[in-house]
Amino acid sequence: MAPESDKTPTAEISLGTSAQTESPKENTATKTSFSVPTLGEGVHYIFGTGRRKKAVARVRIRPGTGKILINKRDIESFFVHEKDRTAAVSPLQTTGMTNSLDVWVNVRGGGSTGQADAVKLGLARAIAKAIPDAEHTLRDSNLMTRDARIKERKKYGQRGARRRFQFSKR
């Protein structure tokens, strides 16, 4: 018998994507389940960093009850618009772990939409690091890709990045 201490304990988390057919021959009841490793002694969090425009989000996750704190505030009080809340928690909803992970986020810079997208990328990266099986699901949902669009710089001889000074013929 192998000693029990060599195995890392895991918590089973299932994703509710079951597709059943009516045919008795084809039993394609598939249930995707991700196994989250329980954090051992000395390991407290799993980290992920997300960026969007000027916003930078540092995300920490660990198995828990689904509590989300952003800059020590509840997500409803931090993101006042529903679209920002939805974007920030979309990696949790995609993997089906809204009630399985506790999330702590420190975010700085940018505006509310940039911060929400930075939280989304950081959370997706942290989940992918914690559960390598979930990375394919997150990548298919386009949550692991950084949005590289940033503000274009102002050019000399112009009023802005593309706007020119007013032209006067006479």
Can you list the domains of the chain with their CATH numbers?
43-144 (3.30.230.10)
Chain position carrying tokens 């020119």: 164
Q: What is the pLDDT of residues 77-102, one digit of tens each?
A: 999 999 999 999 999 999 988 888 89
Burial of 144 (0-12, 13-18, 19+ CB in 10 A): middle
Which of 94, 76, 93 has the alpha carbon at shortest distance from 85?
76
**What does the pLDDT profile of the chain (170 residues) look like in tens digits?**
455 555 444 555 444 444 444 444 444 333 455 655 566 566 688 899 999 999 999 999 998 888 999 999 999 999 999 999 999 999 999 998 888 889 999 999 999 999 999 999 999 999 999 888 889 999 999 999 999 998 999 999 999 999 999 999 98
Q: Give the pLDDT of residue 22.
A: 43
**Among residues 32, 30, 10, which one has the least CA distance to residue 21?**
30
Number of H helices, E strands in the chain: 4, 7
Does the global pTM surpass 0.95?
no
- Separation of CA 75 from chain center: 14
